[in-house]
């Protein structure tokens, strides 16, 4: 059974009350519940972590090295700033899918660039909470084809 590390970056703990016009009204707990349902249907196991701290996310990626088969990550604002997060993903070389609730390419210019995209299999954005489910699906399909 594949084991997937699900990482949520800064401010995603505020989902549900954070800029609902942009991110919707679904909470992170509800996203976790839906992902768990999807994981059971796909017969994979999930370990999830949300952190507002770059180093905590980097440590979790390092720890994933021989524990998990892939990473599903919404890096939040670190998407647009963090070379360190990018290097951690490249360093462990685990298949990684980047997800965003909002379509970052339709938003402010500073959100158009992702440091993570070049080290990810792909990026899914713009589908609200459903981006996570679609991302998990894409990651598991990729792992099954390896």
Question: Which positions are annotated as active-site residues?
Answer: 23, 100
Kindly identify the residues of this chain, within the stretch 70-99, that bind ligand DQA according to CB under 6 A: 74, 76-77, 79
Q: Which is nearer to ligand DQA, 33 or 67 (CB)?
A: 33
The 104-143 site mask, x for binding ligand DQA (CB under 6 A), equals x------x--------------------------------
Strand partners, 97: 72, 122
Tell me if 24 sits within 8 A of 128, measured CB to CB: yes
| Dihedral over Cα of 34, 40, 41, 45: its sign | positive
Q: Which is nearer to ligand DQA, 39 or 115 (CB)?
A: 115
Which among 67, 60, 39 has a CA at the least distance from the CA of 139? Answer: 39
């Amino acid at each position: 059974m594949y084991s997937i590390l699900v990482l949520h970056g800064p401010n995603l703990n505020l989902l549900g009350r954070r800029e609902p016009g942009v991110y919707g009204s679904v909470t992170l707990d509800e996203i976790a519940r839906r992902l768990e349902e999807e994981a059971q249907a796909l017969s994979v196991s999930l370990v999830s972590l949300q952190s507002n701290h770059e180093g905590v996310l980097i440590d979790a990626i390092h720890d994933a090295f021989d524990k998990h088969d892939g990473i599903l990550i919404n890096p939040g604002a670190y998407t647009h700033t963090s070379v360190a997060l990018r290097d951690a993903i490249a360093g462990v070389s685990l298949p990684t899918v980047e997800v965003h609730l909002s379509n970052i390419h339709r938003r402010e210019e500073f959100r158009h660039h992702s440091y993570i995209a070049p080290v990810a299999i792909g990026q899914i954005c713009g589908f609200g909470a459903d981006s996570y489910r679609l991302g998990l699906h894409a990651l598991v399909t990729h792992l099954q084809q390896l």
